[in-house]
Amino acid sequence: MSVSLMDKYFGPLPREYCIYFYALSIACGIIFASSILSITYFMVNHFKKVDMMFIVNSSLILLNTFLAYLANRLLHTMCVKSI
């Protein structure tokens, strides 16, 4: 009885739950693309306000959003292939 209880609450989930990582991958991809567009738009329209700190912060934001997209895409692939 204890084993079935553990399997019920902590065992593997069905394949349909892989959609969670797929949705996160799409969301992070959209956020990454919108970050690129937003940063580019700001740099074009406010060229004189762009300094080294802005470039560093923008690069870190783009790196962070890209890694979030990549990690969720990888997790979705692992989820689909393992079940």
Which candidate, 6, 68, 79, 3, places its Cα nearest to that of 33? 68
Instruction: Domain of residue 25: give its range.
Output: 14-82
Domain total in the chain: 1
Tens place of pLDDT for every residue, the chain, 83 residues?
Answer: 567 888 888 888 899 999 999 999 999 999 999 999 999 999 999 999 999 999 999 999 999 999 999 999 999 999 999 97
d(CA 27, CA 35): 12
Q: Give the CA distances from residue 23 to residues 27, 36, 37, 64, in Å, rounded to whole numbers and listed in that order.
A: 6, 20, 21, 18
Q: Is residue 40 part of a domain?
A: yes
Q: Is residue 42 part of a domain?
A: yes
**Contact call for residues 32 and 69 (beta carbons, < 8 A):** yes
* pTM for the whole structure: 0.84
Q: Is residue 8 part of a domain?
A: no
The DSSP code sequence of the chain is -HHHHHHHHHSPPPGGGGHHHHHHHHHHHHHHHHHHHHHHHHHHHTGGG--HHHHHHHHHHHHHHHHHHHHHHHHHHHHHHH-
Q: Is residue 75 part of a domain?
A: yes
